[in-house]
Structures are given as structure tokens and as C-alpha cells.
Structure 1
Amino acid sequence: MSTGIRLRLEIRGPTDRIEFLGTARDKPLGEALRDSPCRPLDPVPGTWADLPIGDFDFEFVLAAPPPEGTPLAGPRTREHPETLTEEQATRLAYGAEVADAASLLRAGQSVLVVCDKIVVPYLAEHVVLQAGREPRLLEAGGPEDTDGDASPGALGMGGGAQQSLRQRLLNQLRGILRELKDGQVLVVPHLDLLGGGQDAALPNEARELIELLYSAGDVVLLGFVDPSLPLPEVLAARFSTRLALEGTPRQVPIPGTGEHQPIQKALITRDEAAHFAGLDDTDMYKFLAGLNPVRLRHALRYALQRYEGRVDATVNDLRDTIRTFKAQQSSNFEIPDVQWEDIGGYEEVKEALARTLDTMDRSRTLPQEDEHLRGELTPRGFIFHGEPGTGKTLFAKAIANKFNATIQIVSGPEVTNKYVGEGERRIRELFAEGRRNAPSVIVFDEIDSIAARRTGGDDGGSRAGNAMVAQILTEMDGFRPDVQLLVVGTTNRLSLIDPALLRPARFVGFHIGLPDAQARRGIIQVHARRYRVSVDGVLEALTHATDGWNGDQIRALFRDAYVGEKFDDRPADAYQLGELVGQHLTARRQRLAAERREA
């Protein structure tokens, strides 16, 4: 069997094939394609442009002549393609990674690909074919799988005579391993579902899988796992190399040329680009970077359908629609509704945050020779610490709005779990979802509950806490600069946080204390506008009377005034505001007295 790289070329007739083979004999691929009427039907990574023709096995496909006047379609053009399938988009976006994986497979190295499941069908066999090998696919419904459908019982959820899906796949795997020939590659599209789990608590089927794959050490494997699903390290170690396919790259190779073009040109069709004015003059990459090619195409089709018939749609409409699409695709992320103007007072904190955010935004335009400094200029996130009720979460929402980002707020205690490994799994899922929804902000409320200072204790609680801190550090240190994902932690007890998280390159800290007189004045004005309560003539008196109050308490004052006016026929005038202040002060004294008695 030939070991060359498989590449399909479209020809108009037999003479094209003869001409190509006759004239391209001593040329590299890129030059040969430029001088030929043949058109690649598969993505051609830029790394192939300098490879000699002898490294390839060409399959020539005769094409029907297009109707007169039909423009060139598909992903080869340097302009927006006329049409683009999900398969084309995936193979184009990941062309360089496919070439790397194919090169490793040709060298007899097993490859583990970490990517979203939705792109696996377009890559599983394609990578092997690009390597010039024959794929043998392990999948439910394959020729060796004849034991019925995948009912709940078949999924291993219950007992009975019917084999579980995992067992049937293992039986199929044994058959493939017995029959595998030289030049064939075993492809496992859903390795995580077949062998997933934590090393300490592996299901029996996962242990059988590990034994089978290690006993066939000379077999070349191509496996796929989703980044949100755990894979035992002992199973991952069976693969020589691991490749991660996350989101989409900023540039993709133009097939057959060795050149590159921006992703927002290569993966956006001509109709989509024409529909949103200003698209080609705007850098949209930060809004596309976290989407894999399939979800990107879904988002663009959704945007085109939403603005169908509109002639005034702009690139800003597209940006907002993509953000909405991401939020709708996630059950956890949402679009924040807080602006800087909605936060009263704290002008120094706002100015410091604005400077940091501006530096982060401008670092995206660094010259190429300074690209390596970007990570030092952009922290991975912020920690807001201070007394309860001071608006720490509001600052996180305002930051997300500044970034045109989606946001998810997670209560720290919700992440912890009594089962081994569940906390780390939840953290992995949160970050994977955050990357898919980039630009995004993940807020850990009460972060001290999951990121407390690590200890040397050997009890289960200490080990679980240490593991969660280690997982957070791993996720934050693995950030891609182009994928804008911010982590915000809020805490009332900064001293409990593990020092490794407080390094400047990871978290920048901001103290959000009880508001001073100037901040209280601003907070009062914000809530007076929101609840439509007049503070004319009493602003300074209220500012003085609320000394020692936090923002939540001031908001509650105006909420009660609004309720009294709308539902109890009590006008929200100076007298009523004074009454409410007195009630709040009395309740506060009683609460403090009760706390002293309990102490």
C-alpha cells in the first residue's frame, strides 16, 4: 500500500491529469498547483506547499463544467467563499493541525485529539486519509456491532442479558485488533465515553479498554476526547502525542497557495459578509475565537436568518447576535445588564479597572516582535475582596459588558462535591464552556470556598480542596491569548485564598470596602433614579445618615420606599425616607446586639 499523503484534485478532463503529472514532476506542491488547472478538493495546509510531489498520492476527480457565469465557490478563493459546508469549514480551520496529526500517523505515532465532539465526524477518517493510511473506525453500529440498539439498558445504566454499549464496542474492538492490517489506523471517535472516568474509580469496561490497547502496543491509534470529559491519565499515556483543537485560529491557509487569510474572511460566506455593513473593516476575531468551526457556521446562519430582509444591518448587529447566540446555546452563560454608570461611587476602583481593561484590549495589537509579552500585560482575572454587600458582583457584570462578553456566576460552594474528582470535573466543564462562549467572564462568588490555601493534610477534604486549586491553576495557565476569557473571584476573606492564585500574572486584586461619603452619595443617586424616588433637598442628609451602610443596604432603603409608594399609598417623600432609615438603624442595632449575646 502506498504511504503518500492522499490528496484529491478536481480536473476538467483527462488532459488536466496528464498535464499536471507531466509538468509538476520536479516541483513542490504549492508551485505545481499554481501552474495547474487542477483544484484541490481537500484543505491543503501551508506546511505542504514546499513538499515534493512525490510525497503525495493524488486522486483525480472529474468535475462537471459549471454553468456559464458561475463564480468560483468553496473555500479556495482569497475572497469570501460563495458557499461553505460545515465539513469544509472544519477541515479548513484545522488544516494545519490535521497536517501535523497526519504526519505523526505516517511516522507510526499514535495521536490523541482533544476537541469538541461536534467536529469529530468531519475529522475522524479525514485525518487518517490525509496520512495516506486506511482508517478502521470503532463506532456503535459498525460491522462487528450486532447486538441491538443503544437503549438505556444498553448504555450500561442497568443489568440484564442485553450487553451494554461499552461491552459491545469492546467486542468490536477485539475483532478489529485481530483483523488489523499494516497501513491501517484504529480510530476511536469517542474514546472519552468508552474509557472515561477518574483513575481511582475506573469502570470495568475502561480497565478492559486500557488492557486491550496496551496489549496491542504496535497498533497506531487516533483517538478523540472532549475537553469537558475526564480521561484517565493511564489511557491518555497510550498515545505518543496530544493535539488540542480549540475554537478557531486567527488565520487559516488558503488551499494550494501556501498563503493565509483571516478566519472572518475564510469562514464567512459572500452573502453573510454583504448583509452586515462594515464587516470587512472590523476585527471580529475576538467574538469568533472561542467558537469551533461548526458552531461558528451555526451562529452566522442564525444571524443571517434573524436579519433576513433588513438592509440596515451592521457589523455591530452581527456582533450582538453572535453574543446572543452563545448565551442561548448555553444554559449557564447570559448577557450582563450592568454598565459602569449603574455602579454608584468607587471612582478610584473604576478608574483602575478601566486602565487595566484598556491595557488588556490594546495588547491585542502588539507588534509581532512583542507578541511574547502579551501574557505578561494581561492578567487572567480579578479578585474583588471586601465586606459583604459592597457590589463586587456588579463590578464583574460591568466588566463583562465592557468586553461585550457573556457571563456566568457560580457560587463557590456549588462546585464542591463529596465524590472524588467531581469538583475538578465541574471546574473543567466551566472553563471549557467559557472558552466556547468567549469573550466570556466566569465569576466565582465566594471563591475562598474552592480556592483556599492548600495544606499538607491527608484527609479527604484537604485532598479534594488541593485538587480543585490545582485544577484552577492548570486552567488559568492554559489560556489562549486570542480567546478572551476572564475569571473573577469575589471573597470576604482574602487571607484564605491560596497564594499561588494571587500572583499578579493570574489575579489582580481590588479592595471593595464600605463606601465613603462620596461613594454613598453616588450610590444614593443611582438607586433614586432606578426607583424614581426624589432626593431633592435630602441627599446630604441621607449620605450622612447611611454612614457605615453597604450598597445592598442603601438599595434596600429605596426598594422599600418604592414599595410603600406603589402598594401602601405612602409617598416616598423626605418624611418616609427618614422613617425607613430609622427602621433600618433599629434593625441593625438589634442584629448587632444579638450577635454580641451569641458571642
Structure 2
Amino acid sequence: MSAGVRMLRLVPLDPTAFHDRYVLAETDEPELTLGELLADLPAFSLTPLDPAYLDVPVRRLVLELAEPDPSTPLHLPPGLDLTALAAAGSPRDGGPAAGTDAADNSAANPAAGAGSGPGSGIGSGIGADVDTHVSSTGRNTPLPGQGGDTAGRDADAAGPAAAAESGYPETLSEREAVLIAHDTEINRAAAYLESGLSVLVRCEKLLVEHLAHEIAGRSGRPQRTPRPAGGAATAVPGTPSGPGEATPLGGGRRAELLAALQAAVADAKPGDVVVVPHLDLLAGGSDAALTSEARELADVLYERSACVLLAFTDPSLVIPEVLANRFAVRLSIEILPREVTTGSGARVPVGRALVTREEAGLFDGFDAADLYKYVAGMNAVRLRNALRFAYHQHRPALREGDRRPTFADLRHELRVFKARTSSSFEVPNVPFSAIGGYAEVKAELARALTIIGGAVDLPAHLRHDLVPRGFIFHGPPGTGKTLFAKAVAARLAATILVVSGPEVTDMYVGESERKIRDLFAEARRNAPAVVVFDEFDSIAASRTGRGDGGSRAGNAIVAQLLTELDGFRPEVPVLIIGTTNRIDLIDDALLRPSRFRPIRIGLPDEDARREIVRVHAEHFGIPVGPALVDAIARATEGFNGDEIRSVFRDGRADELVGDPRRPADARRLGELIGALRAARQQRELAKSPPSDRRTEDAIRRDITDTLPIVTDGEEFTTDTDGNSRAGTSRATGTRPGRGESTAP
């Protein structure tokens, strides 16, 4: 056996299960050998297999999943039990999926007969453009009663749905999860194809490899999938197709795919369906503009308008309308349904149908129905990945007495998974108790969040009207608008994304709208989610009728925001929060009650300042008694929450790293408050006309008079227990006079 990593091409009887076990072996079973893997999940080899490889850990091998071809010989690995193979069934027994004409596929891909049939390099991921005609044996048994004439399908066979009726399925592959979750949409698309109507499906790329041939197969029509010559489609675009080989990128590969599509459309017989897994990538653009690539593609698709097409686009990509108009029907397969139908017609929660018995049993108090609100925005593949992630984070403990994970732990792991698989979203940890005061704002938000959290339980016909789409937090700077947004996300057990308004704007036409579409699409995938647009007025300003480029770009951004808000789905909790200091600049269409609810977060009153003082004093570990809390609350009139926080932050910093170090007592806190007042009045002085400016001495006198930390000859300090006590002011016991400011 040669040194280094070796690529082996295998034909598993159960490709999905084989792929899952191989990928997870890196972390779960690092010592799993190829022989052990083949013993559990039998597979043939396309070349004679050296027995020495059976003892090599699979993590040191690159295994390529191949598809059986009638003209390619299959080799039995050494030591593989023929009895087990006979029980599982040959990979050629079931043949291609229903409706697939092997001869037609061979014509579309002449390299298939040369032993380079469709497959994917498992070590580097499964390509969505790869044909995955999976046998209907083993774990890939479809749901009974799904319809279609797929070869080898037995309507009475036990499948995941049968398990769902009596409990949770024992095992579940990604492909099974997709077919269960979207059975209704698959049948609808197949029925349109059967009627001779071309169908454009809008779904995430992860679903395409599972949906493409299933939809075409259920239609009962022979299918053709265009592939570039030379077997280049056997690997993921951009990854090597074999040792030392590189897959062509850019125009070269696209030109090959376009030529293959043109040949497939031209050669398609009446009744055939041509499958285009990645129509959006062939169009060669990120917006609706008609690029040169899109023109070429339109020319190919309209060459034979009678040819039945099945194509797929990703929600994050936009294709020109002239391409979309080629399809008689457009379907969207995006979010999970709340319930799925079993083979007997019974309705079960998706949290029961797509969760295995082992996963549900691990988390104490698991609630299949309640799970939906935390996973509604996921597709079936991401849900399975998230559940496997959560399971392996809390796998059954080997020691007795360990705390059993709960359903709350599962919800937390789902949030962590979403944040880790997103480039921008994070898990907030700011409770409402960390925000002092603002009782009325908290009460209003709590009422709205109760409606949002219980949206799935509301009557379906009222859900869209009752659930708020978003809020606009407006008020002076520093009052905690973004902090409130994070607290809202924490209360909803949601992920959060904070976007500065100017980050959305772009100099290129159409890019700003694309960024907004991408933000909303990612938010739906991570639902429940909260998207915060800081400085909202910079992207949502009132539209104008001026014809300059800046005005047109701003109008387009507002129009895209309105489109996304009007496409709001209550079952997928995505809350949009805009923060602004200038609500008067916001476009009136966004301020309609059915879109955004304005909530003013103004400067805190004395009671709110008292609560803010307690919160920050506790956070920074500065002991304050009731009398000192009252004194600081009075002294900080007109301050915002951020300024009050800075008093305790700077006081604690002086204690820890000051030079010289000073205790954060009442006198030091008073000095910091005085310094803030002086800085504020200096700013006001700089803004005022010269004739109205007051002298610095006058400012100092006002500051001295308004500092209640030192009053009537007494100074509030704190003892070691954190209790306030009164003492004389300074050594003389007299009240500081004018000019003796306690501020520096």
C-alpha cells in the first residue's frame, strides 16, 4: 500500500448512511477502519481493493461515492459477507429512480460507461449537481403512500413514517428527512411535470440533490440531467475530481454545462423532463440584470419551448425575469411544515417525524410540538445536522449520577448551532433584568413578545394580523436602544444580528437591495431571529421624487425593506428592530402600524436612574447604600444610561488600575459626575453663538451648586458593608463654597 492519502471509489448499498458514518467518524469514531465500516454498511469497489486498506482508519482515506453503472464491473471487497449483500440487495437491483431512463442518461453523459459515473468526493463534501439515484432499500425506504412508480417501492414497506405513527423513527438519513418534510411539495411539483408543465423550484442548495431526481421520478417521466463531457460532474465544482486533477472553474466549466444543457434540450424526446439543478449559477449573476451569461442561457431554454424543464434556484440568488418566465409554475420549498402526513394519513408534528428515538429520549421533557418554533426556519438537512450536533454535545453520560440534559439544553444547543453556522448571528445573553428602569417600555415589549412566542398557537387566519413584524426604538443617544433589542432576542431564545445602517448601502446599483435580501434570508434560516438595524434612518429615510442617483438608491432600499416586511411569515419568527435618534426622517410607509411599532426610549426619570445605578453598581462591584443611590439619581438628572454606566466604570477602573489608585467612594463618584457635567456644558458652550457663551467660572459655579453628593456639610460615603453613612464634608466640616467644585 502506498504512503499518504489514497482515494477509493465505492458503490455503497445505502449511500446516505455510508456518507453520514464516514463524515462523523472523524470526531466520533477516529479509529473506525474501512473493514469495520464495510461490515456495517456494505459497498462494492470500482477497482480491486487491496486487503491492506481494510485495516486503515477511514479518516486517513478519501472515499468517493459512486453510482452503479451497468457497463462498469463491481468488485467485492475482501472478506465482505455475500449473505449480508444478498439480504441488503445489490446496488443494481433497484436501478435508477423511477422515471429514469438509463439509456437516455448514458446519452447525456457518455463518460458514464467509462467507469466515471456520477459520484462525489465524500472527503470534500457532496455536490448538489451530482445524480443521487439512491436505492430504495435499507434506510432510504420512502414514506408509504407517497405516490409515484419508483422501482422497488413497496407501499407496505416499513419506513420513517411508520415509526412516526407509533413514536420516533429509530434512524433517519438526510434524504429521508427531506422526503418526509416536503412530501406535499414534491408530489405537487411532480404532478405539474406529469401534466407537461415546466417547474421552477426555489429552495436552498442543500435540498437540491435530494429533491431533483425524486420530483422527476414521481412524475413518471424519463429524466435527463445535463453533465459536462469527461465526467467532470463527478466532483463538487471547484474540488479535485481525483488525485492530482483539478476541476475547471469559471467560464470553462460553465460553458461545458451550458453545452450539455443545450444538447439535452435539443435531444429530449416528447415526455422527457430535463433537470437543471443550478439554474441560478448558470445565469451568472447575483441580481435581476440580464447579463451576457443570462442571455446565453435564455437562448438555450427558449430554443424548444415545448421541452419540459425542472430547475432549481437558491433564495439568496435572483434570476432575470425572462428566465423565470420560461417556467409555467414556480414553487417555493423553504421552511419546515409544522406537521407532516404519515402513510396512513395521520398528521404528526415535525418534531416527532424528523427526530430519532435516541435523540428525543436523551433530552428530558422533550416536546415534539414545541420544538417547531425553534426550528421552523431551518430546512430538513440543517435540522438533522443541528440535532446531531446537540446530541453529540450531550451524548449519554457513561457515569451514573450526571445531570440528564433537558429540553432547554436542546433549545440552547440549537441556538448555538445556528450562530456557529452563520457568519454574522450570535447568541445574546442580556436579560431584561440587566436594564434598569423603563417599566412601561418593558411591559409593552413583554406583551408583544408573548404574542410572538405563541404565534404557532394562534388561529391561522389571525396569525398574520396579530404578530408584530418589528419595532422602531427611537430616542436620544445612549438610552439603551440596542441593549433592549438584545434583551428582546434573549427573551425569545433567538439569535441576533446587529447591522449598522451604512453597512447595507453600496455604491453599485442593486447591491444594497441584494444585501437586504441576503440578511432577511439568513434571518429566516436562523429563526427565531432578531435583526437590528442600527442608525435605521440612514437606510429608511423618506423617499423623494428627485432623480439623482443617491435618491434613487435610497428609494430602492426602502422598497426592498417593504417587500421583505410584506413577505413576513408568523410561523417563522423573525423580528426586525430599527434604532434611530431621528424618527422624523423615517419613511411614513415603514411607520404604518402593520409594519413597525414605534417605541420611544427616552432619558430615564429619577426612578429609572435609581434602578440604573443599582444595576451598574452591582455589575462593577461598587457598594452603594440607599442614601447614596438616591443622591446619585438626583445628581444625574438629564443623564442617559450610558453616562451613568461610565461613572461606575471609571470609578472601578480607578480602584483597579488608577495611578494613583483611588477608592470608588461617594466623593470619587461625585467628581466623575461633575466631570461629565462640565464636559457636557463645554460642548453646549462650543455650539452656542459667541454672544451667548458663558464663562468657564460660571459653568463651574453651576456644577458645584448642582452636585448633591456633597450637601449641607455632609458627605455620603460607604462603609465596608456597603451601607451609606453621613460624615462631615472635608476636614473643616463646612460645605464647599462657590469655586470649590468637587469636580477635577
TM-score normalised by the shorter chain: which range applies?
0.7 to 0.9
SS at match of 2:645: helix
Shift of 1:258: 2.2
Shift of 1:228: 1.0
Q: Are 1:481 and 2:563 an aligned pair?
A: no
Shift of 1:526: 0.9
Shift of 1:303: 1.1
Shift of 1:143: 5.7
Q: How does 1:418-497 map to 2 (within 5 A)?
A: 418-497=507-586
Residue 189 of structure 1 corresponds to 277
Shift of 1:324: 0.8
- In structure 2, distance between residues paired with 1:498 and 1:454: 6
Deviation by residue 1:8-50 (Cα, 9 ceiling, x = unmatched): xxx999xxxxxxxxxxxxxxxxxxxxxxxxx99333577x6xx
Residue 22 of structure 1 corresponds to none
Q: 1:350 to 1:396 in 2, by over 3 A?
A: same
Count residues with an aligned counterpart: 539
Q: Is the 8 A contact 1:389 1:552 kept in 2?
A: yes
- In structure 1, distance between residues paired with 2:427 and 2:172: 29
Q: 1:244 to 1:154 in 2, by over 3 A?
A: same
Q: 1:423 to 1:263 in 2, by over 3 A?
A: same
Q: 1:45 to 1:202 in 2, by over 3 A?
A: farther
SS at match of 1:215: coil
Q: 1:140 to 1:498 in 2, by over 3 A?
A: farther
Structure 1, unaligned runs of 5 or more: 1-10, 14-38, 49-55, 66-71, 157-162
- In structure 1, distance between residues paired with 2:145 and 2:599: 45
Residue 7 of structure 1 corresponds to none
Q: How does 1:162-177 map to 2 (within 5 A)?
A: 163-177=251-265
Deviation by residue 1:47-99 (Cα, 9 ceiling, x = unmatched): x6xxxxxxx54634699x9xxxxxx6634321211111000000110100001
Q: Is the 8 A contact 1:73 1:83 kept in 2?
A: no
- In structure 1, distance between residues paired with 2:576 and 2:230: 43
Question: 1:267 pairs with 354, 359, 365, which one?
Answer: 354
Q: Are 1:387 and 2:476 an aligned pair?
A: yes
Residue 94 of structure 1 corresponds to 182
Q: How does 1:51-62 map to 2 (within 5 A)?
A: 57=149, 59-60=151-152
Q: Are 1:527 and 2:616 an aligned pair?
A: yes
- In structure 1, distance between residues paired with 2:178 and 2:149: 22
- In structure 2, distance between residues paired with 1:394 and 1:40: 48
Q: Are 1:593 and 2:682 an aligned pair?
A: no
- In structure 1, distance between residues paired with 2:277 and 2:331: 14
Question: 2:656 pairs with 566, 572, 589, which one?
Answer: 566
Q: 1:486 to 1:337 in 2, by over 3 A?
A: same
SS at match of 2:496: strand
Residue 354 of structure 1 corresponds to 446
Residue 142 of structure 2 corresponds to 42
Q: Which has the higher contact order (CA 8 A, sep 6+)?
A: 1
Q: Is the 8 A contact 2:419 2:427 kept in 1?
A: yes
Shift of 1:153: 10
Residue 4 of structure 1 corresponds to none
Q: Is the 8 A contact 2:286 2:317 kept in 1?
A: no
Deviation by residue 1:246-280 (Cα, 9 ceiling, x = unmatched): 1211111113x222211011000011111111114
Q: Is the 8 A contact 2:500 2:535 kept in 1?
A: yes
- In structure 2, distance between residues paired with 1:135 and 1:62: 22
Q: 1:224 to 1:45 in 2, by over 3 A?
A: farther
Residue 548 of structure 1 corresponds to 638
The alignment-based identity, stated in percent, is 51
Deviation by residue 1:386-414 (Cα, 9 ceiling, x = unmatched): 11111001111111111100000000100
- In structure 2, distance between residues paired with 1:102 and 1:248: 19
Deviation by residue 1:139-167 (Cα, 9 ceiling, x = unmatched): 45676979x985899433xxxxxx52222
Shift of 1:365: 1.8
Residue 337 of structure 1 corresponds to 429
- In structure 2, distance between residues paired with 1:45 and 1:518: 65
Residue 130 of structure 2 corresponds to none
Residue 388 of structure 2 corresponds to 301
Shift of 1:555: 1.1
Deviation by residue 1:518-571 (Cα, 9 ceiling, x = unmatched): 111111111111111122232122112111111111111111111101111110
- In structure 2, distance between residues paired with 1:564 and 1:200: 58
- In structure 1, distance between residues paired with 2:229 and 2:209: 15
- In structure 2, distance between residues paired with 1:339 and 1:198: 39
- In structure 1, distance between residues paired with 2:152 and 2:463: 46
Q: Is the 8 A contact 1:44 1:253 kept in 2?
A: no
- In structure 2, distance between residues paired with 1:236 and 1:410: 32
Choose 328-337 or 447-456, whichever is displaced more: 447-456
- In structure 2, distance between residues paired with 1:289 and 1:486: 14
Residue 316 of structure 2 corresponds to 228
- Name the aligned partner's letter for residue 162 of structure 2: R
- Name the aligned partner's letter for residue 555 of structure 1: R
Residue 328 of structure 1 corresponds to 420
Choose 407-416 or 507-516, whichever is displaced more: 507-516
SS at match of 1:538: helix
- In structure 2, distance between residues paired with 1:112 and 1:450: 33
Shift of 1:226: 1.0
- In structure 1, distance between residues paired with 2:342 and 2:288: 46
- In structure 1, distance between residues paired with 2:190 and 2:153: 22
Q: 1:142 to 1:480 in 2, by over 3 A?
A: farther
- In structure 2, distance between residues paired with 1:12 and 1:349: 63
Residue 160 of structure 2 corresponds to 74
SS at match of 1:76: helix
Deviation by residue 1:290-343 (Cα, 9 ceiling, x = unmatched): 110001000111111111133611111111111111111112111111101011
Q: 1:141 to 1:461 in 2, by over 3 A?
A: farther
SS at match of 2:499: strand
Deviation by residue 1:106-130 (Cα, 9 ceiling, x = unmatched): 1111111111111110011110111
TM-score (structure 2 length as normaliser) = 0.69
SS at match of 1:510: strand
Shift of 1:282: 5.7
Q: Is the 8 A contact 2:516 2:561 kept in 1?
A: yes
**Root-mean-square deviation (CA), in Å?**
2.7
Q: 1:479 to 1:62 in 2, by over 3 A?
A: closer
Bigger Rg over Cα: 2
Choose 196-205 or 235-244, whichever is displaced more: 196-205
Question: 1:539 pairs with 626, 629, 634, which one?
Answer: 629
Question: 1:377 pairs with 458, 461, 466, which one?
Answer: 466
Question: 2:249 pairs with 155, 158, 174, which one?
Answer: 155
Structure 2, unaligned runs of 5 or more: 1-86, 90-138, 240-245, 398-402, 693-744
Q: Is the 8 A contact 2:143 2:160 kept in 1?
A: no
Q: Is the 8 A contact 2:144 2:159 kept in 1?
A: no
Residue 289 of structure 1 corresponds to 376
Q: Is the 8 A contact 1:378 1:505 kept in 2?
A: no
- Name the aligned partner's letter for residue 120 of structure 1: V
SS at match of 2:196: coil
- In structure 1, distance between residues paired with 2:431 and 2:420: 21
SS at match of 2:498: strand
TM-score (structure 1 length as normaliser) = 0.85
Q: Is the 8 A contact 1:134 1:185 kept in 2?
A: yes
- In structure 2, distance between residues paired with 1:40 and 1:122: 11
